[in-house]
Amino acid sequence: MNLVIDVGNTSIKVGVFEKDIMIHRENLKLNDFQKCIEKLHQDYSSINKAILSSVANFQEKEIAFLKNKFNTLILDHTLKMPFQNLYATPTTLGVDRLALVAAAVCQFPKKDTLIIDAGTCITYDFKNKDECYLGGAIAPGIGLRYASLNNYTSKLPLLSLEVPKNHIGDSTNQSIHSGVVNGILYEIEGAIAEYCNTYPDLTVILTGGDAHFLSKRLKNSIFATSNFLLEGLNYILAFNNSQ
């Protein structure tokens, strides 16, 4: 069994895999990390390997606690990847993006694939049918867009996500909802269209915390999945253990 851990900007996602099948998943806060790991160590005694991906400032004591329980890989750009990384600055590439591309290689081999991860940020990552990672884009996510309108203006309110009633907002609140939600939908649709101009057989994956909300409102044919990053981590762990 494998234990995979994704430390994001807002939460920690944990998955237990039996080969390539996830049999347990949970989301937790940093304060609950050691308690969760201790329980998983007791409940799944067959776990013998773990992999940790962190885009946040994860404390060394938490890493040491994990390593004390399991044989643990820390995901970084030095690990072997199942694809050729053509990013111009590989040491600055977020480890979460590495895991997403690995999942695409595993689940959609020999296909031009765009992975859109809609979380705190919206990232776009592209690998071609030759299993070469070319790069992508980083944009503010839904929550960041709402927050920035409040933080960087003197009078606009801080709102929570809401489906706009119309493309034409008839109040300040509705204008903000339209600008944030429809703006993101236009952005994603436009990005997909641009990629399709060059790669007409494009496979599109939508994942991340806001994937379910967005997938119901996108016109393009996409694969929406909430576990794509965790599946990529599991594949990287298996890939490195097989080398």
Give the span between the Cα atoms of 213 and 73, in whole angstroms: 33
| DSSP β-bridge partners for residue 204 | 114
* DSSP state string for 64-104: HHHHHHSEEEEP-TTS--SSEE--SSGGGS-HHHHHHHHHH
Under DSSP, is residue 107 helix (H, G, I), strand (E, B) or coil?
helix
Catalytic residue among 96, 117, 125, 210: 96
Burial of 78-107, coded b for 16+ CB within 10 Å and e otherwise, reads ebebbbeeebeeeeebbbbbbbbbbbbbbb
Which is it for strands 71-74 and 49-54: parallel, antiparallel or unpaired?
parallel
Does the annotation count 112 as an active-site position? Answer: no
Query: Rounded to an integer, what distance in angstroms lies between the CA atom of residue 20 and that of residue 85?
Result: 24
| Residues with catalytic roles | 96
